[in-house]
Amino acid sequence: DGGITQSPKYLFRKEGQNVTLSCEQNLNHDAMYWYRQDPGQGLRLIYYSQIVNDFQKGDIAEGYSVSREKKESFPLTVTSAQKNPTAFYLCASRRGNGYTFGSGTRLTVV
Amino acid sequence: AQSVSQHNHHVILSEAASLELGCNYSYGGTVNLFWYVQYPGQHLQLLLKYFSGDPLVKGIKGFEAEFIKSKFSFNLRKPSVQWSDTAEYFCAVNADNNDMRFGAGTRLTVKP
């Protein structure tokens, strides 16, 4: 079945460490997105990519980085510069007007 | 970039009551509009979407939404809610620059 796979489901990180969240899709979708979900704030766009080797900052890109070396993969790195990284992270992909969401990764800084 | 406002942070209703959740967006160009639902412990599911045509859109589980272009609104409605509708509801807008923005969400609690 086609879909988006986010891994891991739960991730713990020590303060000051970088961590990378995986997002893989086998839907042949061109565009991919990363959102952060916090209670009472909905989903906020971190980064998005319309095509391979190209990506743009969303509304809250500071402290995050991404790469898009392959169409199928759009990993998100949460760097030590992100002041409040504990959150639920959602990846999505799009082809035309059809969006598909992953099941998310819950990141906790300990 | 476009922005999305959901007026109600938390709505509490009794079963069989009617529901209307507000959603307004700010963008002057062509938009696609969505309502997503997130049940407790589950991931986002699409309730309904509007791209063009009839501004009254019917979705799954008895939900509908009306696009009123002059008011930049896309309110979600359901005539009679059930306990199983307890969830968080997100309005989203995809504008012609192709990235999607979400509202802050409305938590709906339906009391049995």
Q: Which residue has the tokens 């020590």?
A: A14
Q: Is B32 on the interface with A (CB under 8 A)?
A: yes
Residue B44 has pLDDT above 70, yes or no: yes
pLDDT (mean) for B43-60: 92
Q: Is B44 on the interface with A (CB under 8 A)?
A: yes
Phi, psi torsion values for A29, nearest 5 degrees: -80, 140
Strand, helix or coil at A59?
coil
Residue A49 has pLDDT above 80, yes or no: yes
Q: Is A18 on the interface with B (CB under 8 A)?
A: no
d(CA B6, CA B74): 10
Interface test with B, best of A10, A38, A43 (most B CBs within 10 A): A43
Residue A27 has pLDDT above 80, yes or no: yes
C-alpha separations of A67 from A47, A74, A94, B50, B94 in Å:
10, 6, 17, 31, 23
Burial class from Cβ neighbours inside 10 Å (0-12, 13-18, 19+) for residue B12 reads: exposed
Of B83, B70, B66, B84, the closest CA to residue B21 belongs to B66
B98: pLDDT confidence band, cut at 50, 70 and 90? low
Q: Which residue has the tokens 């042949």?
A: A28
pLDDT value of residue B100:
85
pLDDT value of residue B74:
97
Q: Do B44 and A90 touch (CB under 8 A)?
A: yes
Å from B62 to nearest chain A CA? 21
Strand, helix or coil at A85?
coil
B97: pLDDT confidence band, cut at 50, 70 and 90? low
Q: Is B46 on the interface with A (CB under 8 A)?
A: yes
d(CA B76, CA B63): 7
Q: Do A40 and B105 touch (CB under 8 A)?
A: yes
Q: Is A106 on the interface with B (CB under 8 A)?
A: no
Q: Are the C-beta atoms of residues B44 and B90 closer than 8 Å to each other?
A: yes
The residue type at A6 = Q
Q: How many residues does chain A have?
A: 110
Q: Do A104 and B46 touch (CB under 8 A)?
A: no
Q: Do A58 and B99 touch (CB under 8 A)?
A: yes
Residue A98 has pLDDT above 90, yes or no: no
B6 neighbourhood in chain A, CB within 8 Å: 42
Select the more confidently predicted residue: B91 or A95: B91
Within 9-28 of B, beta carbons closer than 8 Å to A belong to 9
pLDDT (mean) for A35-43: 88
Q: Are the C-beta atoms of residues A31 and B98 closer than 8 Å to each other?
A: yes
pLDDT value of residue A10:
93
Q: Are the C-beta atoms of residues A91 and B45 closer than 8 Å to each other?
A: no
Q: Do A43 and B102 touch (CB under 8 A)?
A: yes
Phi, psi torsion values for A63, nearest 5 degrees: 90, 0
Q: Are the C-beta atoms of residues A23 and A75 closer than 8 Å to each other?
A: yes
A97 → closest Cβ in B51, B90, B102 = B51
